Amino acid sequence: MQRKCVFLDRDGVLNRERGDYTYTLEDFEVLPGVPEALALLKQNGYLLVVVTNQGGIAKGLYTRADVMACHQKLQESCGHLIDALYYAPSHPNYSASLSRKPDSLMLERAMARYSINPVQSWMVGDSHRDLEAAEKVGIRSIIVGDKYATGSYTWQVNDLWEAAQVIVGKV
């Protein structure tokens, strides 16, 4: 049986986008409405999978342990609702990687591991590269925030709570 999933970018969707790398617990701030949005998606039968580029590891700015500590804080803040967290430690200036969005290997790995049906799944991101990765594997997407001009995407909403409303069909 195939399952439905919501893939989630991290910075700018789940936690506050700082414009710089977010890797310390002090700077890692879960956005308002995120725990409620994740709970709504979970109640509606969606797997929740985070897919995040973490190029600062390749740059030597922070470590895998820093990323894992932030992910632990995220899980604790959201009632451990997230089923899996994938991150791409590479950066194009340092090392090539098909995992790094806009490539789709993180999504493909999760789809294979959890038997995810792309037709029933979504990607919620805040950048073009998130949506490009979703398109490569046939997943619908929603962009959150106001980084891009309104109207250029099928779904553009303010935050994850609004995205969750669209996904579960309440909009």
* Annotation says 146 is catalytic: no
Residue 23: φ, ψ to 5°: -145, -5
Extract the runs of DSSP E, i.e. beta strands, from the chain: 5-8, 47-53, 84-88, 122-125, 140-144, 156-157
Exactly one of 11, 103, 126, 130 is catalytic; name it: 11
Whether 9 is catalytic is: yes
- Which among 9, 66, 126, 159 is annotated as catalytic? 9
Contact between 104 and 137 under an 8 Å Cβ cutoff? The reply is yes
Single-letter amino acid code for the residue at 84? A
Q: In the β-sheet with 122-125, what is the strand arrangement from edge to edge?
A: 84-88, 47-53, 5-8, 122-125, 140-144, 156-157
Instruction: List residues with catalytic annotation.
Output: 9, 11
